Amino acid sequence: RPGTTARVPLPVAELHLHVEGALGPDLLRSFARLNGFGTAFDGTDPEPEFVDLQSFLDRRDGDLAVLRTEEDFHELGAAYLRAARAAGVVRAESFIDPMVHLQRGVPVEAVMRGFGSAFAEARATGMSCDLIVCFTRDLGAEAAEATLDAVLPFREHFIGVGLDSAEVGWPPSLFRDVFARAAADGLRLVAHAGEEGGPDYVREALDVLHVERIDHGLRAMEDAELMARIVDERIALTVCPLSNVALRAVPRMEDHPLFAMLELGARVTVSSDDPAYFGGQVDANLEALRAAGATEAQLETLARNSFDAAFVDEAERRALT
Ligand code: ES4
Ligand code: ZN
């Protein structure tokens, strides 16, 4: 576009990002060659069409086959942090899913040491970033307990736990005990709820798991009383606009419930979820909202909310903004 200058990205905290979802086509091909898959992934469609959350998870699981070693996880983590920085992310709280990798025979140790060392290295160069370990909810509560046991030896590499993957049929209440144990270990708590599951899932995440933020939370909008509470208690919602449209949780960006959530005064934040699959990093998500009618004031509110909702103390918060 001649005559336009590149916009400096708005500084934000990205609070809802799955590092595995940053595995883009170039990295995918290079890991495939490195790990003996030859050119099997060369024709992989870089912009796939999804119909729902499960269709994305199936595609992603196929791609993740190329990740085998601690070094692979290190490289993927470092690649995400570089791309995020360029997109304006000055604080990253990023999800990883150790059980997804263990399912295909990769030891939890390789995942934790690889991602952990990438984040530690970035921290040493002045980036504010931490990991959150997600329980893969469709593997059930016993697997979640086993996950917590398996990652606790790497406690220095993560600050909290979350709950992700296929939502419907796996209500938060199933995970009461493992979240209580994580809280007792001093871990911060978040959970995906209300992406495909109804407002009851959001309510359970708050009342049974005692999470501090809700990831997505879209369907909380179906329950006015619940939204009033979310506003009142300043519970952050980490919303991922491009993901929601790609996975058809929202029909069109112009209809995104984020606009009404902001009107209610909810602490809405914006993140990219899985940037390699849904059309870009957090800056692309903010840009998509702008194109759908978000005002500068709304975009600034979203950025400020992201810092208010981040798991940092006052001193670090001041250093970030
Ligand atoms: C995910 Cl529930 C959900 N949504 C988007 N990306 C994901 N990666 C893993 N679980
Ligand atoms: Zn997510």
Task: Compute mean pLDDT per 10 residues along the chain, 321 residues long, and list them.
Answer: 68 99 96 95 84 97 98 98 98 98 98 99 97 98 98 98 98 99 98 98 99 98 98 99 98 98 98 98 98 98 98 96 89
Which one of the ligands is nearest to 163 CA? 1
Burial state string for 183-216 with b = 16 or more CB within 10 A and e = fewer than 16? beeebbbbbbbbbbbbbbbbbbbbebbebbbbbb
Question: Which of 203, 200, 195 lies closest to 239 in space, CA to CA?
Answer: 195
Q: Is 26 annotated as a binding residue?
A: no
Rounded to whole angstroms, the Cα distance separating 72 from 259 reads 39
Q: In whole angstroms, what is the distance from residue 26 CA to residue 277 CA?
A: 13
- Does 101 count as an annotated binding residue? no
Q: Ligand 1 atom closest to Cα of 97? A: 9
| Cα-to-centroid distance, 124 and ligand 2 (Å) | 27
**Centre of ligand 1 from the C-alpha of residue 18, in Å:** 7
Instruction: For residue 195, indicate whether it is catalytic.
Output: yes
64 residue type, one letter: L
* Cβ atoms of residues 147 and 119 within 8 Å: no
pLDDT of residue 4: 59
**Number of the ligand 1 atom closest to the C-alpha atom of 195:** 2
pLDDT (0 to 100) of residue 253 = 98
Q: What is the ipTM of this complex?
A: 0.95
With beta carbons less than 8 A apart as the criterion, state whether 210 and 186 touch. Answer: no
Sheet containing 160-164: give its strands across: 12-14, 89-96, 128-136, 160-164, 188-193, 213-216, 236-239, 268-270
pLDDT of residue 203: 98
CA 226 – ligand 1 centroid, Å? 23
Strand 188-193 relative to strand 12-14, pairing: unpaired
Cα(165) to ligand 1 centroid in Å equals 5
Task: Determine the residue of 20, 76, 95, 164 to mutate for testing ligand 1's pocket, defined as the one with the most ligand atoms within 8 A of the Cβ atom.
Answer: 164
Contact assessment for residue 112 and residue 98, using Cβ atoms and an 8 Å cutoff: yes
Q: 156 by DSSP, 3-state: which? A: helix
Q: Whose CA is nearest to atom 2 of ligand 1?
A: 165
Residues, CB within 5 angstroms of ligand 2 (ion):
273
Nearest CA, atom 3, ligand 1? 165
Q: Does residue 215 line the site of ligand 1, with CB under 6 A?
A: no
Would the CB of 192 count as within 6 Å of ligand 1?
Answer: yes
Q: What letter does residue 159 receive in the DSSP assignment?
A: S
Task: Give DSSP secondary structure letters for 11-76.
Answer: PEEE--BBGGGG--HHHHHHHHHHTT-TTTTTT--SS---SSHHHHHHHHHHHHTT--SHHHHHHH
**The pLDDT value given to residue 50:** 97
User: Which residue puts its alpha carbon closest to atom 7 of ligand 1?
Assistant: 165
- Alpha-carbon Rg for the chain, nearest whole angstrom, is 18
- Domains contained in the chain, CATH given: 12-310 (3.20.20.140)
pLDDT at 3: 52
Nearest listed ligand to the Cα of residue 56: 1
Pocket test for ligand 1, best of 54, 56, 76, 195 (most atoms within 8 A of CB): 56
Instruction: Report CA-CA distances (Å) from 130 to 157, 202, 203.
Output: 8, 24, 26
Q: Looking at residue 6, what is its pLDDT?
A: 65
Residue in 53, 76, 195, 196 to alter for ligand 1 test, most ligand atoms within 8 A of Cβ: 53
